[in-house]
Structure 1
């Protein structure tokens, strides 16, 4: 027997799909440090109305892109918010900010914005887990530098961090991607370059102080600096996940990489929930 659905049934199915699907907000977040509004995409999972609080993944874009890069070029990122019950926040990092506070240009204070002002705004306006165990940060290319740079420097804010095809050591690239505009020339301002590269933030880490994931394709022009970062973390006995597979610096690679990273951060968030549950606390109290 062939069953036919009535128009009303089809309408209800369609309505259900609309009601229970991730929602994408594009908001303006005011930055006191830069005295301007920063456009930001916030992806809210479909379970938002049913649960009380959600972990947040801060997802950073690359050089010359903007706040809409991830959601427009990898639409499946919206599904990741649903699958893992997390809020995903994609701020605008401007053209070549590299997500640090520029020592030569006061108009670029993106370390302060992303690690302080944006987090405070998101926690105020959404139902979030308001502690480090409920926050992670990652990104691609310039945003991969930002994910680790901010994650290492602000471990009180983010409990986990990552990078996809990240420019994790900027020093070999003195003439690229507006870096000299943000730091001054490397020849005249070497200290700025030393202080604002991921490779020189490793002294801030201790074993297991942060959950770390690094992913870079073997054909990427940033591959060598990612391998060096991986080796240095091994030398310092800092646990981390390092993923490399065939691939280059493009959206095909990042669309795949974000799935692994979202799963990694979801596992971190779940571990935090389990450790803070009443039953876990009761069990730990028994001898």
Structure 2
């Protein structure tokens, strides 16, 4: 074998070894919800430098309507690189195909607010090397998950220090007969007060300036655009600092695959400044 071939083989081996040694690890965790009396899966992405001797921040990343815990890693596998780049864990919970991340007042089988904000967070902190306070936790998601992320963060500011949304359904009252919301909250025509209490744009009063780091975005051609504009205007009126971005694009994985890069950067900066 000549020298050139030996060098080539060595470089190929070294490159392969480096990639394996510098790649995020994707786990599927089987968690348990006492509130719903069932086991629930979640994807947990650990950065390449993960070590039990360190403490890592966590970005909780929620799926949309009709999705599940594996959506993000299957559709956008490049999110593993975000875990490596920003030295954070990424956790993708299961919010059921239409759980809306609410605790249903109608059905105790739909308790996804308690599950994500309390049970899952406790599980992650117990089983992984995490920063166990709000300064090390961010939450975001797409569509239904965008609403869920802001809803949970607004209501649980003691748990999450930063929150985001991508193409979030931020005014659920616009969709009284769609997306399975009524099976969680009851019919809007019969329970408008309950819908109001579970609507992100109606919960801005819970915020005070600089208590929660906020970023959200939406495509200009997205059907959720008006609800995002509504939230932006309400935050401006109450002088709540936030990052809001409108980009070309629609309600699509192409859009979300791009948007998550900016959200992860925002959260990384928050984590660095919150230390």
Give the match for residue 82 of structure 2: 80
In structure 1, how many angstroms separate the alpha carbons of the residues matched to 2:27 and 2:87? Answer: 16
Alpha-carbon offset, residue 61 of structure 1? 0.2
Shift of 1:15: 2.5
Moved over 6 A (4+): none
Match of 2:268 among 263, 266, 269: 266
**Which residue pairs with 1:217 in the alignment?**
219
Unaligned runs of 5+ in 2: none
Q: Residue 209 of structure 2 contacts residue 240 of structure 2 at CA under 8 Å; is this kept in 1? A: yes
- Aligned equivalents of 2:184 and 2:89: distance in 1? 30
Instruction: Give the match for residue 193 of structure 2.
Output: 191
Residue in structure 2 matched with residue 33 of structure 1 by the alignment: 35
2:93 is aligned with 1:103: no
- Render the CA deviation track for 1:214-237: whole Å, top value 9, x for unaligned: 100010000001001100000000
Identify unmatched segments of 5+ residues in structure 1: 274-287
Distance 1:253 1:7 in 2: 40
- Judge conservation of contact 2:135–2:274 (CA < 8 Å) in 1: yes
State the alpha-carbon separation in 1 of the partners of residues 166 and 10 from structure 2.
Answer: 46
Deviations 1:26-57 (A, max 9, x none): 11100010010111000000010386110000
Report 1:64-213 matches (<5 A).
64-213=66-215
Q: Which secondary structure state, in structure 2, belongs to the residue aligned with residue 213 of structure 1?
A: strand
Match of 1:62 in 2: 64
The answer to whether the 8 A contact 2:52-2:128 is kept is no
Query: For 1:11 and 1:216, how far apart are their aligned partners in 2?
Result: 43
- How many residue pairs are counted as aligned between the two chains? 273
Tell me the distance in 2 between the aligned counterparts of 1:127 and 1:142: 29
TM-score norm. by structure 2 comes to 0.96
Query: Can you list the C-alpha shifts for 1:157-201, whole angstroms capped at 9, x where unaligned?
Result: 000000000001101110000011111111111111111110121
Q: Secondary structure at the match of 1:42?
A: strand
SS at match of 1:171: helix
Relative distance call for 1:246 and 1:9 in structure 2 (3 A) is closer
Shift of 1:20: 2.1
Q: 1:227 — aligned with what?
A: 229
**1:284 maps to which residue?**
none
Deviations 1:77-123 (A, max 9, x none): 11000000000000111011110101111101000000000000000
CA distance in 2, matches of 1:243, 1:80: 20
Deviation at 1:11, TM superposition (A): 3.1
Deviates more, 1:16-25 or 1:174-183: 16-25
CA RMSD across the alignment: 1.5
Q: Which moves more between the two structures, 152-161 or 14-23?
A: 14-23
Match of 2:48 in 1: 46
Task: Normalising by structure 1, report the TM-score.
Answer: 0.92
Alignment partner of 1:207: what SS?
Answer: coil
